[in-house]
Copies of this chain bind each other. A is one copy, B any other.
């Protein structure tokens, strides 16, 4: 079964792709092994992260980008990362239905991920899915994050080109949420550009860029591992001029320049050597997450359940502090 599943994924069969992603999401015992067989065939797709505050029209933009890429005869996978629960529906379902309109086309693959599992679980699941889609030969992988929290920004931040979508006239509270994601943008898109306030939104972004407030990747934190190995190429200010583009995605207007900007950015990434640097960061972050999970599982295998239960009792009763609980546990059970 496994070999033929791998062969089918490599041949780009959509059902096999979907099935393997499901096996990975469910932590099927063989799934990671299967994934490692695909790994040599990856590294060709261009990973595009699309993020932004709620209400900016990200999903519509993603749909229009996919449509345009198909017209250029490039195959597209869309990974929609939803922080919502399985029983939610509503708007997301609506978006998905809109996207499904695209899905008669064999050159398009659409997948939603709504993993609210272990901390970091969403990042790992998304990263695994990207590996499968890359190996399956999709030219373009669009990673759309519905949320605007730390985890979602991290997921979008693993892409090679990051598009931050804005829209005029959102509330103050939304402006605040947005602030955290502005600094990771390679391309700004001001969507819903037929709304009043669009010029003010653009002026605001321009002012921010002129103040030098976006020095993209050094502001992204990639965990303990990358602290050991700071990527020197990223310390210099980037030579990439972050464009600000206007779209009305609902009418399909202004999307072609976005595709062009993405192409230019990929060219820039390759020529400047930054593509390699970003790949290193992404793979290092992924390695760290995997190491952490593996270490914890190894440790838990050694610990009798009663010990843990007693330890948590002691924490509850305040007879041990978390700091000492960790110390004692590692001394007794770390292999």
- Chain A interface residues (CB < 8 Å from chain B): 32-33, 35-37, 39-43, 53-59, 82-85, 87-92, 94, 116-120, 122-123, 146-154, 171-177, 179-180, 182-183, 213, 219, 221, 223-225, 228-229, 276, 279-280, 283-284, 286-300, 305, 308-309, 311-312, 315-316, 318-326, 329-330, 334-335
B residues less than 8 Å from A321 (CB atoms): 35-37, 39-40
Shortest distance from the beta carbon of A157 to any chain B beta carbon, whole Å: 10
Top 6 closest pairs, chain A to chain B, by CB: A149-B149, A88-B179, A36-B321, A39-B321, A84-B180, A91-B172
B residues less than 8 Å from A59 (CB atoms): 173
Tally of this chain's copies: 2
Contact A287-B175, Cβ < 8 Å, known A35-B321, A150-B83, A295-B296? no
B residues less than 8 Å from A151 (CB atoms): 119, 149-151
| Residue contact A228 to B305, C-beta cutoff 8 Å | yes
Shortest distance from the beta carbon of A53 to any chain B beta carbon, whole Å: 7
| Residue contact B283 to A316, C-beta cutoff 8 Å | yes
Contact A116-B172, Cβ < 8 Å, known A40-B318, A296-B291, A325-B287? no
B residues less than 8 Å from A286 (CB atoms): 322
**Which B-chain residue is minimally distant from A295 (CB atoms)?**
B295
| Residue contact A221 to B117, C-beta cutoff 8 Å | yes
**Which B-chain residue is minimally distant from A41 (CB atoms)?**
B318
Contact A330-B223, Cβ < 8 Å, known A55-B173, A175-B90, A279-B316? no
